């Protein structure tokens, strides 16, 4: 993507803001505050490479809004990271945290780098170097990063350690998504898939579904996709298609998901298999492309891979009546309009994948309390947050006769607006 595309990504985010604002009760001043990040920094990160040379990387961190609590959002290591992309992703985080009602604002960070070109040691130096440059900008009470594309628990561990060294005190709450041994939370691993699963269970109640009659196609069989597949399969849902970056598989009778997961974890390949213990045999299934998966005639379509998958080019061929967005931004705003007009229900990303940031919030709470929960406690606390967010948004959707994405933004904007307005708006000052 060019620099201009990234600028337009932020413009696109603002367009969605404007659309939702026409339905939300939010004053103009609060809205104006949300049109640009509260703070944004660009840093240069010198890294000594293994061959002795020095490379200087560029990194960013955007604190979009912190009216409802410290900014929260991941750090991305990717060659196409840009200021516009980081600002747009931080904006989405503000909306996501408000949408599910957790006490955080939105932030995001990134470094322009292809991490596959770095050795492990170079990656560690870069991760620590990034934290040295942003150490005054982040903190448990100001801005709390987490993993994103091409960053993981190990990297979060290094970053926490570096921050702790700079501040000369152990500070696990500065970053979430850490390894369990360094203060990570149990239940973070499947939190995103589980949050989406709780949303689908609410839909099940509303629509009176019998799970065995509901067919599901899942694009992407990574962290988010595998866990939602496992939970739905355990309840009897028919997962008839799944895919990864190499393509997909389709069987109208549905797959045995634990077997697919076992194969994927053992061989890193997604194959149509049925496993008895450690022995897996190949079963009949059709090989399909990722494009074909999206266009299958299924009841539930779950994009759980990348952004920009449902676009103006393929939206007319999408047959699923319900789409649950586990990925961030899988539907473009142009495709959104078409889906909305056609009556396709889209459970939007800022709701459907918010289980991840919610358990990150639990990790931060546990770090600050120094008291750690069982995995059952994590699940017990996650479910009511997802269920009440889902139902609040569903009610707005029905009440205002808008699509579910607009309803999610309305709920988010009203919560953010309330926090900004609580500090006083023109109404308050002009009258006094
Ligand atoms: P992951 O890297 O674990 O898995 C991604 C999966 O997508 C892999 O199976 C990969 O093979 C597949 N994939 C890559 N390119 C593809 C393509 N062109 N077509 C089909 N599949 C393709 O990542 P993840 O953590 O599962 O994240 C997936 C999505 O969910 C991302 O959009 C991410 O931002 C979003 N998300 C994840 C979390 C989380 O906690 N993991 C939280 C919120 C949102």
Q: What is the DSSP string of 350-362?
A: HHHTTHHHHHHHH
- Among 38, 108, 201, 264, which one carries the catalytic annotation? 108
Q: What is the pLDDT of residues 239-257, one digit of tens each?
A: 999 999 999 999 999 999 9
How confident is the prediction for the chain on average, in pLDDT? Answer: 95
pLDDT at position 3 over 60: no
Is the C-alpha dihedral spanning 160, 161, 166, 170 positive or negative?
positive
Q: Is 219 in the pocket of ligand 1 (CB under 6 A)?
A: yes
CA distance 88 to 324: 21
Contact between 144 and 172 (Cβ < 8 Å): no
pLDDT of residue 367: 98
pLDDT at position 187 over 60: yes
The count of other CB atoms within 10 Å of the CB of residue 159 is 27
CA distance 156 to 310: 31
Q: Token match 């200021």: residue?
A: 83
Contact between 257 and 230 (Cβ < 8 Å): yes
The domain segmentation of the chain, as residue ranges, is 37-172, 191-352
pLDDT at position 6 over 70: no
The rounded Å distance from CA 331 to ligand 1 centre is 14
Q: Is 192 in the pocket of ligand 1 (CB under 6 A)?
A: yes
| % pLDDT > 90, the chain | 88
pLDDT at position 216 over 60: yes
CA distance 93 to 106: 4
The rounded Å distance from CA 423 to ligand 1 centre is 39
pLDDT of residue 426: 79
Closest CA relative to residue 355, chosen from 142, 234, 185? 185
Reading the block at residue 185, the tokens are: 């939370």
Q: Look up the CATH number of domain 191-352.
A: 3.40.50.720
Q: Is 153 in the pocket of ligand 1 (CB under 6 A)?
A: no
Reduced to 3 states (helix: H, G, I; strand: E, B; else coil), residue 119 is: coil
Closest CA relative to residue 263, chosen from 277, 250, 251, 275? 275
**Looking at residues 379-397, what average pLDDT do you find?**
98
The rounded Å distance from CA 326 to ligand 1 centre is 8
Closest residue CA from atom 29 of ligand 1? 327
Q: Is 244 in the pocket of ligand 1 (CB under 6 A)?
A: yes
Contact between 428 and 418 (Cβ < 8 Å): no
CA distance 253 to 277: 22
Q: Is 222 in the pocket of ligand 1 (CB under 6 A)?
A: yes
CA distance 57 to 107: 20
Q: Is 189 in the pocket of ligand 1 (CB under 6 A)?
A: no
Q: What is the pLDDT of residues 19-32, one digit of tens each?
A: 889 998 888 888 99
**Hey, which CATH number is domain 37-172, 2.40.50.140, 1.40.20.10, 3.40.50.10860, 1.20.910.10?**
3.40.50.10860
Say yes or no: do domains 37-172 and 191-352 share a fold. Answer: yes
Q: Token match 């839909």: residue?
A: 203
The rounded Å distance from CA 22 to ligand 1 centre is 32
Work out the angle at residue 35's Cα, subtended by the Cα atoms of residues 33 and 38, and round it to the nearest 5 degrees. Answer: 60
Q: Is 431 a catalytic residue?
A: no
CA distance 70 to 398: 32
pLDDT of residue 20: 87
Closest CA relative to residue 383, chosen from 172, 199, 169? 199
Q: Is 67 in the pocket of ligand 1 (CB under 6 A)?
A: no
Structure letter (DSSP) for residue 316: G
Reduced to 3 states (helix: H, G, I; strand: E, B; else coil), residue 102 is: coil
The rounded Å distance from CA 267 to ligand 1 centre is 18
Q: What is the pLDDT of residues 134-172, one digit of tens each?
A: 999 999 999 999 999 899 999 999 999 999 999 999 999
Closest residue CA from atom 4 of ligand 1? 222
Closest residue CA from atom 3 of ligand 1? 222
């Amino acid at each position: 993507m060019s620099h201009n595309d990234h600028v337009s990504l932020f413009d696109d985010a603002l367009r969605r803001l404007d659309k939702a604002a026409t339905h939300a009760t939010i004053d103009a001043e609060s809205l104006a505050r949300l049109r640009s990040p509260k703070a944004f920094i660009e840093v240069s990160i010198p890294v000594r490479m293994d061959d002795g040379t020095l490379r200087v990387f560029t990194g960013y961190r955007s604190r979009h809004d912190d009216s409802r609590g410290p900014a929260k959002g991941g750090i991305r290591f990717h060659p196409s990271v840009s200021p516009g992309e980081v600002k747009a992703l931080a904006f989405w985080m503000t909306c996501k945290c408000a949408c599910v009602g957790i006490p955080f604002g939105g932030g995001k960070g990134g470094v322009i780098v292809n991490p596959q070109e770095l050795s492990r040691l170079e990656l560690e130096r870069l991760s620590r170097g990034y934290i040295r440059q942003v150490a005054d900008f982040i903190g448990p009470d100001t801005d709390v990063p987490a993993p994103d594309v091409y960053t993981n628990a190990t990297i979060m561990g290094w970053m926490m350690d570096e921050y702790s060294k700079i501040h000369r005190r152990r500070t696990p709450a500065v970053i979430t998504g850490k390894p369990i041994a360094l203060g990570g939370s149990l239940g973070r691993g499947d939190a995103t898939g589980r949050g989406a699963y709780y949303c689908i269970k609410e839909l099940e109640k509303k629509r009176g579904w019998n799970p065995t009659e509901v067919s599901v196609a899942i694009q992407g069989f990574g962290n988010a996709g595998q866990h939602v597949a496992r939970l739905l399969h355990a309840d009897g849902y028919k997962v008839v298609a799944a895919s990864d970056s190499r393509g997909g598989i389709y069987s109208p009778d549905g797959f045995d998901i634990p077997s697919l997961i076992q194969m994927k974890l053992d061989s890193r390949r997604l194959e149509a298999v049925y496993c008895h213990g450690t022995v897996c045999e190949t079963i009949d299934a059709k090989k399909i492309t990722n494009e074909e998966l999206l266009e299958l005639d299924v009841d539930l379509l779950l994009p759980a891979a990348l952004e920009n998958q449902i676009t103006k080019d393929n939206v007319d061929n999408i047959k699923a009546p319900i789409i649950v967005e586990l990925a961030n931004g899988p539907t473009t705003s142009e495709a959104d309009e078409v889906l909305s007009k056609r009556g396709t229900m889209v459970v939007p990303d800022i709701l459907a994948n918010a289980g991840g940031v919610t358990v990150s919030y639990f990790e931060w709470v546990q770090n600050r309390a120094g008291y750690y929960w069982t995995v059952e406690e994590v699940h017990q606390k996650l479910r009511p947050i997802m269920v009440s967010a889902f139902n609040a948004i569903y009610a707005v959707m029905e009440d205002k006769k808008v699509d579910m994405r607009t309803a999610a933004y309305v709920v988010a904007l009203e919560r953010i607006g309330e926090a900004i307005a609580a500090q006083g708006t023109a109404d308050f000052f002009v009258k006094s």
